[in-house]
Structure 1
């Protein structure tokens, strides 16, 4: 094996000197992330962020309680506070120091930068206004969707079962009630299986106790068997808790008074709805009732006049021709004499006067029609 000669003192000293010069230039990657170092946090928060808020121009506060440019600075810092990449954070910091320099120059009297920042402030105000209106519209849409899907208690109930007690029937049924019923059914099946397993174990345990007692009686006599029988009963007492595997579910309190009140409210709502329909308002129930029709096998045997009368009966109106058809077919109406008053048939004198007026109008129209046919048209010169 070749022998490596020892290095001379001069090359060793030269290497030590070069290492001492290069070592301070070597990059040292800290174990702590950069956003937790004081060298990053102190200049960013106390020099950049505080300087931007202090030198931010603008007096137009609009509906906000602070300047719009300051509001924009806060939003950008809040948006970028979770940036963990060094190069991305460096780009944002360079932009922030550029803004800080622009704010200082505008504060010192730079007209161009002042106009630029004023226009930027107006742009932020417009954007904030659009965002506010979008949020309001979105809230209105969400509220309408919530009202469309809100649970309504009409006074009926879900019958009690092994899983739950008496429950109000809500339409549509909330998801948490459905989940509660499903979970309790699954838990009941699980408890029943556990009960059967424990009952089988209890039966085996009882058989062992009986066998032990019988063996002791036959081996040691009746006196000794009685003493050992007490020990067997103790063993049976130890096995007794195994049969306690089932439990009853807690039921909800009775909701009878609330159900009665819900029925009263439903009747009141339907009465008010019918009143609005009679006054001329077209509701969703009105449109749905108009679109209804008899079953297909019955409608096939109906004449066109019967179909037309069926449509009139489904109308909300109680006057005019619809009221006449309803009165003829014996349909219950809120104002049974309204169709007579509207046609002038409630009072015989009024009916006679209207008939005379109609006759006079017809005679006058006929006379004018004949006169226009006899008079020749003038000739144009």
Structure 2
């Protein structure tokens, strides 16, 4: 009896649980297997009703620009819960636009404030975009490749190229990739050749074995010897492809220099010499350039600097100037350095035929200075 009651209660319990499960499962939200952006039931109302309504009721062009930008940014959202939140937000915005358009004073103030905020953010975004473009342009300008006027001989990995500074990254990566591919091709060719040798040895072994057992009258089936061509066909074809690729590398290394490229490199060399000449002239005119600072920062080697006196260090520092007149010229001559114009330092004293005039002007200047000194002394006594 107890067993029967327990069985009935268990059956009722199971039925009650099944009933509760059916009620809960009906309330459980269904999970979409298809992305929301691909459902026509979602796309058509969103585009034709919500999107067009927002554009129609938007208070300004800046707000329309923001709506278009948001919809383009969110058009690939796939998750249903995220789509629901976005739709609620846009419907709320559309209701605000519609109420403001209908004459609601409060909503008109809210919408106008929103429009001013969007206008400011659009200007800020445009300024940031211009700023980033300018930074990117300055970065490209500072790191652009410049021809140095030298030739880079062709190799297995690249044809004739001009030397550039800095070296372009895409060319460096291309050369590195070709190096790796050549190593891989050589390894594959060696492995292919080893496999062909193994098949050839196996064929020779089967032929020898077949001849030996044929004398004893034993039947023997040779898998490799009878189908040697089929075994080697794809290996030979693969070897031809690898050898063709390696021959292309050798052709690249023997590629001649184009006349236009040679002229471009020579022109870059001439331009470099002209630029360095102008830079030297500017430095001689007194401008402090990068090469000036670099030369001043240089010094003798450490083992020589340790044995130099203070006077020798001072003279070495003065002699690193580009000047060849005055005190610098005197120091350079004392150190035994060659001057491009050995007579240039004499210009400071004037030409010999002008010495008489210079002496008269010097005496006049000295007399004027003496007169002014006497006048100043009299004023001080008063």
TM-score normalised by L of structure 1: 0.67
Cα 1:198/1:137, change in 2 over 3 Å? closer
User: What SS does the aligned partner of 1:168 have?
Assistant: strand
Cα 1:261/1:76, change in 2 over 3 Å? same
Contact 1:344 1:351 in 2 (8 A): no
In structure 2, the residue matched to 1:363 is 370
Cα 1:120/1:322, change in 2 over 3 Å? farther
Q: Quote the offset at 1:99 in angstroms.
A: 1.8
Cα 1:26/1:312, change in 2 over 3 Å? closer
Within-5 A mapping of 1:1-381: 29=30, 31-58=33-60, 67-193=61-187, 196=190, 201=196, 205=200, 246=243, 247-248=246-247, 249=249, 250-251=251-252, 253-254=256-257, 255-317=261-323, 321-322=327-328, 329-332=337-340, 337=344, 343=348, 345-346=350-351, 347-364=354-371, 366-368=373-375, 371=378, 375=381
Contact 2:318 2:331 in 1 (8 A): yes
Contact 2:50 2:94 in 1 (8 A): yes
Cα 1:91/1:241, change in 2 over 3 Å? closer
Q: How far, CA to CA, are the matches of 1:345 and 1:290 in structure 2?
A: 30
RMSD of aligned alpha carbons: 4.5
Cα 1:70/1:340, change in 2 over 3 Å? farther
User: Gaps (5+ residues) in structure 2?
Assistant: 4-18, 212-227
Q: How far, CA to CA, are the matches of 1:365 and 1:183 in structure 2?
A: 81
User: Gaps (5+ residues) in structure 1?
Assistant: 3-17, 59-66, 217-233
Q: How far, CA to CA, are the matches of 2:182 and 2:36 in structure 1?
A: 56
Q: How far, CA to CA, are the matches of 1:78 and 1:199 in structure 2?
A: 57
Q: Quote the offset at 1:184 in angstroms.
A: 3.7
Q: Quote the offset at 1:371 in angstroms.
A: 4.3
Q: How far, CA to CA, are the matches of 1:108 and 1:277 in structure 2?
A: 74
Q: How many residues end up aligned between the 2 structures? A: 329
User: What SS does the aligned partner of 1:311 have?
Assistant: helix
Compare the two structures and name the one with the higher helix fraction: 2
Contact 2:36 2:77 in 1 (8 A): no
Q: How far, CA to CA, are the matches of 2:368 and 2:307 in structure 1?
A: 43
